[in-house]
Amino acid sequence: MLIFHTVHQLQNYLRHQKQKGLITGFVPTMGALHQGHLSLLEDSKKATDLTICSIFVNPTQFNDPKDFEKYPVTISIDVELLLKAGVDVLFLPSVKEIYPNGTVNQPHYDLGFLETVLEGKYRPGHFQGVCQVMHRLLTIADAHHLFMGQKDYQQCMVINHLIETQKIPTKLHIAPTLRESDGLAMSSRNMRLTKEDRQTAVAISQTLTQMKMQLQPGSLQKIKDDATAFLTSKGFRVDYTEIAHADTLALVNNWNGTDPVVALIAAYIGEIRLIDNMLLTKTD
C-alpha cells in the first residue's frame, strides 16, 4: 500500500495509473475504521482496478468543537487494517493540504431543502463542511467511483446533490448499513460509548424495526411519538424520530401507502450522539 501525504504526490501517481487505463475507486473516511468501512473498501476492490482510501478528520463539518476534539484517532490501527484489506493507496493529508488557504471563507453550496431538515436542522453548517471537504477530495482523487454507506442517509443525498450540481465525473455507490450482531449500526462513535451505554444503544435499531412493523397508511404521528417515548424511557435524549420520503427526504406525516419511506433517528446516549435509519418500504 502506498501512502501519500500531499496532494501533488497523490495526483501525480493517480494520473499515471489512469493513463494505463485503470478504473479507480474511492472510499473517504475520518479514520477509526470498522468493518463498515472495510466492506466499502471490499466493494471498491471488486468493482475497480485501484482502490484509494483517505483518512482526514474534517474540522469544518463539526458544529461542536468539543466533538471534533474528541473524535477518535487510531491511525496506526487503521493503517494495519488497510494493509490487511489490500488497499492500494492511502491518502493521509494535513488540514493545510486540504485547505491551503485556511478553513474560513470556504465556498457556500446551495443544498436547498436538504439543509433545513433532520441533520441539517440540528447541526447547522454541518453539510456545508461536508460539501467543502468532499468537493476538495473528489477533485483531488478524481476517481471513477465513490463508495459510501447508507447509515449516513442524508449525507449520501447531500453528496449526490454535490456531484450532480458541480458536475463531478464520479459515480456514487451507496452500500447497506453494516450492523453489529445485536443490530447496532457500526460507527466510529461507538468507540466512545461506555459498556453500559453500548448495551443501551441497541435500542435505536430496535426502535427502527418497531417503526417498520407499525407502518400503515394514514397518520404516522403515533409511530413517531411511540418511538420517541421508548428511546426516552431508555435514557436517550432524542433530537428526532422521523419518517421521510426515501427519495426526497420530505417529512411524511400522512402516508399514502405507496410512496417509499425511510425512518431516521438521532439521539444522545450520554454525551455521544448516534444516528441510524431504516428503509420502511422496498425501493426500486
* Residues 166 and 31 placed together within one structural domain of the fold: yes
Tell me which residue range forms the domain holding 101. 2-175
* Residues 67 and 171 placed together within one structural domain of the fold: yes
Within a domain: 282: no
pLDDT tens-place string over residues 250-278: 999 999 999 999 999 999 999 999 999 99
Question: How many domains are there within the chain?
Answer: 2
pLDDT band for position 70 (50/70/90)?
confident
For position 203, what pLDDT does the model report? 98
Q: Which residues pair with 29 in a beta bridge?
A: 55
Within a domain: 181: no
231 residue type, one letter? L
Domain boundary among 119, 147, 175: 175
pLDDT tens-place string over residues 155-174: 999 999 999 999 999 999 99
Q: How far is it, in rounded angstroms, from Cα 161 to Cα 165?
A: 6
31 marked as part of a ligand binding site: yes
* Residues 30 and 112 placed together within one structural domain of the fold: yes
Question: By C-alpha distance, which of 147, 160, 172 is closest to 29?
Answer: 147
Q: Which residues pair with 185 in a beta bridge?
A: 179
pTM of the prediction? 0.95
* Residues 234 and 271 placed together within one structural domain of the fold: yes
155 marked as part of a ligand binding site: yes
Residue 1 class from Cβ within 10 Å (0-12 exposed, 13-18 middle, 19+ buried)? middle
Q: Are 113 and 250 in contact (CB under 8 A)?
A: yes
Mean residue pLDDT of the chain comes to 96
Q: How far is it, in rounded angstroms, from Cα 133 to Cα 56?
A: 9
* Residues 201 and 169 placed together within one structural domain of the fold: no
Helix locations, the chain, DSSP H: 7-19, 35-47, 65-70, 75-85, 95-98, 119-122, 126-141, 153-165, 195-201, 203-214, 221-233
Catalytic residues: 37
Domain boundary among 153, 175, 197: 175
Within a domain: 183: no
* Residues 215 and 76 placed together within one structural domain of the fold: no
Q: Tell me how long the chain is.
A: 284
Domain boundary among 115, 146, 175: 175
pLDDT band for position 284 (50/70/90)?
low
108 marked as part of a ligand binding site: no
Cβ-count burial 45-72 (b if 16+ within 10 Å, e if not): beebebbbbbbbbbbbbbeeeeeeeebe
Q: How far is it, in rounded angstroms, from Cα 125 to Cα 116?
A: 10
17 marked as part of a ligand binding site: no
